[in-house]
């Protein structure tokens, strides 16, 4: 499934193509997609395909096509502080992007059938937190994953603001999925070969919208052959953040505001350089006269003595302009992590600095 947009050379180019094709339509979704490199969720030997608009599967590891994920993210209408449940959470790629939008006071849970995929997702999550500069640009709602069949969620589980199912849902399981939602919540899932958005407008009232045709593998039905009993899936409890953790969030937020204010004052309300207006050059074209004589054609050129001189000046001007506008072939310097620099410059004990930085390696 996929192939709706051209392949990109890197993650940013992939996002540019998704925007151009109108799969990504809002700034929040764009920021989340740019913050997490899709290639980081591929096995090393398959990374050449990471920026193609195609699904990828290797064993139990699976990623949907970027155009599908972008439609899902847009349809979920995510906001900070909401609760999210990802059924078939897989590599954690989608859950991590969602976590960037939910912020520190959201809830981000995932259910995955295969324990090896859960382990893979935890490794990728740890890599993102420890190494990605994008982590410091957001306040992150870290996903929590549990192993189990998403059709066996305990009936006493809490309901969620947003739910996504990453496998084809049979019609007989539609009501089961709807009951996972709070009133006002949104459920996105493949239902009868259509990516479908269902909004719960009341205790027993729903609005349904078909988004696009899709082809997903169906949900795996529970197998009770071994014990004859259902293995209930218990979702993680909604934990209350510690006072220490709340202090870290507040301090990081304050530092980010200071950095933003300093940047604004340095750049004059964010405008670094006034736009350059180029003088529009009128190009002189040489006039040609074509003379017909019997069946032969003779072409002659009419020009001023100064034309040759003017032309060489124009060529020189064009060459100079190209040199000015030509991007430097040197590799640009990596972006500066101002939050990290500011924290490390504070007159604080090192353990506290590292705590504020989440003990990140970068």
Angle between helices 27-35 and 66-76 (to 10 degrees): 140
The residues near 84 (Cβ < 8 Å, ≥ 6 apart) are 76, 78, 95, 98, 102, 106, 107, 108, 109, 160, 161, 162, 163, 164
Question: Other C-beta atoms within 10 Å of 16: how many?
Answer: 17
User: Could you tell me if residue 308 is inside a domain?
Assistant: no
Same structural domain, 347 and 250: yes
Same structural domain, 138 and 233: yes
Residues 198, 175 contacting (CB under 8 angstroms) = no
CATH value at residue 211: 3.40.50.150
Same structural domain, 213 and 250: no
Same structural domain, 220 and 172: yes
User: Could you tell me if residue 7 is inside a domain?
Assistant: no
Alpha carbon distance 290, 245 (integer Å): 83
User: Could you tell me if residue 299 is inside a domain?
Assistant: no
User: Could you tell me if residue 277 is inside a domain?
Assistant: no
User: Could you tell me if residue 51 is inside a domain?
Assistant: no
User: Could you tell me if residue 131 is inside a domain?
Assistant: yes
Question: Other C-beta atoms within 10 Å of 220: how many?
Answer: 13
Q: In this structure, what token pair is assigned to residue 192?
A: 């009868």
pLDDT of residue 298: 39
Residue with tokens 């990516």: 195
Same structural domain, 72 and 83: yes
Same structural domain, 157 and 254: no
Q: Tell me the pLDDT tens digit for each residue of 292-331.
A: 434 444 344 434 444 555 556 666 666 666 666 555 555 5
Same structural domain, 158 and 135: yes
Estimate to the nearest angstrom the gap between the alpha carbon of 193 and the chain centroid. Answer: 25
User: Could you tell me if residue 35 is inside a domain?
Assistant: no
pLDDT of residue 309: 54
Same structural domain, 257 and 203: no
Instruction: Give this prediction's pTM.
Output: 0.79
pLDDT of residue 270: 47
Catalytic residues: 64
3-state helix, strand, coil in the chain (%, to 5): 40, 20, 40
pLDDT of residue 5: 73
- Could you give the 3-state DSSP secondary structure of residue 318? helix
Estimate to the nearest angstrom the gap between the alpha carbon of 86 and the chain centroid. Answer: 16
Q: In this structure, what token pair is assigned to residue 198?
A: 């269902």
Same structural domain, 82 and 125: yes
Range of the domain at 255: 242-262+337-361
User: Could you tell me if residue 287 is inside a domain?
Assistant: no
Residues 215, 194 contacting (CB under 8 angstroms) = no
Alpha carbon distance 324, 267 (integer Å): 23
Same structural domain, 171 and 246: no
The residues near 82 (Cβ < 8 Å, ≥ 6 apart) are 102, 106, 107, 161, 162
Last residue of a domain, one of 204, 239, 274: 239
Alpha carbon distance 143, 108 (integer Å): 5
The per-residue pLDDT string of the chain (362 residues; one tens digit each, 9 = 90 and over) reads: 566 677 889 999 999 999 999 999 999 999 999 999 999 999 999 999 999 999 999 999 999 999 999 999 999 999 999 999 999 999 999 999 999 999 999 999 999 999 999 999 999 999 999 999 899 999 999 999 999 999 999 998 999 999 999 999 999 999 999 999 999 999 999 999 999 999 999 999 999 999 999 999 999 998 866 555 668 999 998 888 999 999 999 999 999 999 999 988 887 654 444 444 433 444 444 444 444 434 444 344 434 444 555 556 666 666 666 666 555 555 566 678 999 999 999 999 999 999 999 998 76
Same structural domain, 189 and 252: no
Domain count, the chain: 2
- Could you give the 3-state DSSP secondary structure of residue 205? strand
Closest residue by Cα to residue 142 from 163, 122, 164: 122
Same structural domain, 227 and 155: yes
Alpha carbon distance 173, 162 (integer Å): 17
């Amino acid at each position: 499934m996929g192939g709706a947009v051209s392949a990109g050379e890197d993650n940013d180019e992939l996002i540019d193509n998704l925007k151009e094709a109108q799969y990504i339509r809002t700034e929040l979704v764009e920021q989340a997609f740019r913050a997490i490199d899709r290639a980081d969720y591929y096995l090393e030997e398959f990374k050449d395909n990471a920026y193609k608009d195609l699904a990828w599967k290797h064993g139990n590891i699976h990623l949907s096509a970027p155009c599908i994920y972008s439609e899902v993210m847009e349809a979920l209408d995510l906001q900070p502080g909401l609760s999210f449940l990802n059924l078939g959470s897989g590599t954690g790629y989608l859950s991590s992007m969602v976590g960037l939008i939910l912020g520190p006071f959201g809830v981000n849970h995932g259910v995955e059938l295969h324990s090896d995929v859960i382990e893979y997702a935890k490794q990728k999550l740890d890599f993102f937190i420890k190494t990605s500069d994008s982590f410091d640009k957001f306040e992150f709602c870290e996903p929590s994953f549990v192993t189990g069949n998403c059709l066996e969620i305990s009936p006493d589980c809490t309901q969620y603001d947003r739910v996504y199912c990453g496998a084809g849902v049979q019609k007989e399981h539609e009501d089961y999925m709807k009951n996972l939602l709070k009133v006002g919540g949104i459920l996105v899932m493949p239902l009868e070969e259509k990516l479908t958005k269902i909004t719960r407008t009341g205790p027993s009232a729903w609005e349904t919208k078909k988004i696009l045709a899709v082809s997903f593998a169906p949900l795996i039905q529970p197998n009770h052959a071994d014990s004859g009993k259902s293995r209930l899936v218990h979702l993680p409890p909604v934990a209350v953040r510690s006072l220490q953790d709340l202090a870290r969030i507040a301090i990081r937020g304050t530092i980010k505001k200071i950095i933003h204010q300093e940047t604004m004052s340095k750049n004059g309300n964010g405008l670094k350089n006034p736009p350059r207006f180029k003088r529009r050059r009128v190009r002189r074209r040489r006039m040609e006269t074509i003379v017909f004589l019997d069946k032969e054609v003779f072409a002659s050129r009419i020009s001023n003595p100064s034309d040759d001189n003017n032309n060489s000046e124009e060529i020189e001007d064009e060459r100079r302009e190209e040199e000015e506008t030509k991007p430097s072939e040197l590799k640009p310097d990596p972006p500066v992590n101002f939050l990290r620099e500011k924290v490390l410059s504070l007159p604080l004990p090192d353990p506290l600095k590292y705590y504020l930085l989440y003990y990140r390696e970068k």
